[in-house]
Chain A
């Protein structure tokens, strides 16, 4: 980690009381800052909060919000809620998988795109929904999905 990264990390720790109860909040802030949980950051978290590294790891792997590998510049999230499913989210995902050449959870080699599925983003009325870097796209036709991603 660079000195700059360490400063960012310290700033995150300063926001929280140093006890085990802060663990999820701290990890969420690290995830938001670095877009994943760097190994060194997890070690520092364990030291700072006084919890075993194994516990940090168990929390980091239990919750969907955390990623242990670096993610791409553009995060493409396909909603797999019930409404999206019956309106063809699978077909949409197929197009993205073959178009980007990656499976959900993976990142393209050039670090440009990460593909993810989410359980339900609560925009069911616009199903099927795809979110590209926090921008919601509703009623996405499966043949338009890839174009929308590449356009952003």
Chain B
């Protein structure tokens, strides 16, 4: 069906809404990355099979839907029953028959699958009341986890493409740019550059061709917001891109998706095809005379390709090496033409701003960081998952109120934001408001939104070593400060982890960091030393413990620790069974002993012991 007028779009929307309204009951099965790892695809099939078999009055097979990431990954696989919002967590395939019988047929709850907050012992039925969800405000994630990403009709029913229709009929390109500028929207990919200013610069450039690209190369380890948007609500990204293309006068563009996200590629392609078929993408969109087309460009698994100039080279089929920044890509980008490159989340936000207005967007967040930001919570935090919160919320609220704090009775140590370019912030920074400028001042950065929480069993030096190793592998090798500097920095960091370093090495690392930051060509090198700089700033004592005392206080660096069993050992044999190298000997109900020569310090025994009988020294 081709939608060639605004009237037809409205009519279609009403039809889609009527179709959804006719589905009295809906079962939403989360197929986000976390739930999928828990086998939610099988749960979906099982629901469809049983619902088809039983021929229930209130629910049809079509009303059993897959969705993108619902957010609360720690409790996955998740199943939500609408309209009540009944939230079943940690669902197994074997529970499906019971859910159908108890909830769908009899209208009762399956109590054992409901979520209970471990801090308050309160059990929740409706997910919207769970603290994890209640504190959030979702703009870019508005549809993720709520709709079937393969059904353009569901996006349209929830107001999708209404912003595009408004833009094409009521606004001039300059009006769009002005609205984005006034909204204060800043790039969600990490840089925080004002989006409106970027668009305005591109539109001003004299050129026959302009490109509008989307950066879906979410390379920061520990970040999965963009993945979830591309997989769970691909049309919101397309709509944002089409609006941008109209504003800057572009006729073609690309979505650059990293190769580690195969499902994102599939879902984005399906969305592009569906939008084409309806006349919402391609030639003469909504019969407005405006044409714009989008292709997908798959990345090749290189972190540096998240950098704008490297990404554009990669789209052109080249090796992804960045170039010097004095020529900006907004002036000379892809094929040397003016190019707007924004991140997935930024585009997904644009349609909402167009619909509700710049003032509405400005009313959320802080003065200089307006709106909301999506984060992925991971690491040593109870409620791992995908969230979106207003800017200006404190780290404490994110980690403790939404994230549920640190599991296993451990202490909070630091939160890592901004990926390899960011840094670690310690406990005394927990009350900082989360916005672009505050986090940068504190020595980290907002980044794309990955938040890794660390407890007292995480070693700051090891974290720095990890990121430096990552960057050494991902440095494209073009400029010397980054290629050789990070290599040396990593080598020195390994020396500290192994207990072989001196304080001179530490001083050398600090000097070297300054050189790398100043002299590198692109953002990767310039921010490369940050993981070291921020950890040494906040956890210098820990570095010194490695150097002076040859100790790793967190018990992580293998060369500096030994595992021993104390007399709390009950002789339960659990550690003997899990030891992968058979280094533990002992009999039932007798004290076990670790053979230090054979021990590889893998920590399996420590993890499995229920009696605190394994010490790390």
Contact = CB atoms under 8 A, between A and B. Distances in A.
A121 B258 CA distance: 10
A112 B100 CA distance: 42
Contact of B377 (A21, A125, A126, A137): A125
B384 interface: yes
B334 to A, nearest CB: 10
Contact of B298 (A23, A28, A118): A28
B219 to A, nearest CB: 7
A62 B302 contact: yes
A65 interface: yes
Contacts of A75: none
B604 A142 contact: yes
A120 B569 CA distance: 38
Given A119-B470, A119-B474, A125-B376, A80 B221 contact: yes
B378 A125 contact: yes
A6 interface: no
Q: Give the interface size class of chain B.
A: 35 or more
A118 B260 contact: yes
B37 A120 contact: no
A24 B300 contact: yes
B347 interface: no
Contact of B319 (A62, A83, A98): A62
Nearest to B260: A121
Contact of B580 (A65, A87, A95, A125): A95
Interface in B31-77: 33-34, 36-38, 73-74, 76
B600 interface: yes
B602 A81 contact: no
B221 A138 contact: no
B303 interface: yes
A121 B227 CA distance: 9
A2 interface: no
A136 B298 contact: no
Nearest to A21: B317
Given A94-B602, A141-B607, A82 B298 contact: no
B487 interface: no
Contacts of B220: 120
A25 B452 contact: no
A82 B298 CA distance: 23
A53 interface: no
Interface residue tally of chain A, by bracket? 35 or more
B316 interface: yes
B379 A119 contact: no
B218 interface: yes
B36 A136 contact: yes
B219 A64 contact: no
Contact of B260 (A20, A120, A125): A120
A20 to B, nearest CB: 5
Nearest to A81: B221
Given A86-B463, A136-B33, A138-B38, A120 B384 contact: no
B160 interface: no
Contacts of B458: 86
Nearest to A95: B580
B349 interface: no
Contacts of A127: 378-379, 384
Given A82-B221, A119-B219, A142 B34 contact: no
B224 interface: yes
A22 B73 contact: no
A126 B476 CA distance: 30
A4 interface: no
Contacts of B222: 81-83, 120, 124
Interface string B352-378: 000000000000000000000000111
A95 B607 CA distance: 15
Contacts of B83: none
Given A21-B317, A59-B318, A127-B379, A122 B33 contact: yes
B298 A25 contact: yes
B221 A62 contact: no
Interface in A96-138: 98, 118-127, 129, 134, 136-138
Given A85-B466, A143-B578, A122 B227 contact: yes
Contacts of A63: 299-302, 320
A59 B384 CA distance: 37
B333 interface: no
Interface string B585-606: 0000000000000001011100
A25 B254 CA distance: 13
Contacts of A95: 580, 602
Contacts of B301: 63-65, 118-119
A143 B604 contact: yes
B307 interface: no
B461 to A, nearest CB: 13
Interface string B314-347: 1011111000000000000000000000000000
B416 interface: yes
A81 B219 CA distance: 10
A84 B377 CA distance: 13
A68 interface: no
A122 to B, nearest CB: 4
A152 B155 CA distance: 38
Nearest to B383: A125
By CB atoms of chain A within 10 A, which of B76, B220, B318 has the most? B318
B547 interface: no
Contact of B379 (A20, A80, A83): A83
A62 B580 CA distance: 36
Contacts of A85: 221, 463, 466
Given A24-B314, A80-B470, A86-B463, 11 more contacts: A25-B297, A64-B301, A64-B302, A82-B378, A86-B380, A86-B454, A87-B380, A120-B260, A122-B33, A122-B224, A122-B227
16 contacts: A62-B302, A64-B301, A65-B259, A80-B221, A84-B221, A91-B602, A119-B260, A122-B227, A124-B450, A125-B76, A125-B377, A125-B378, A125-B385, A126-B73, A126-B384, A137-B37
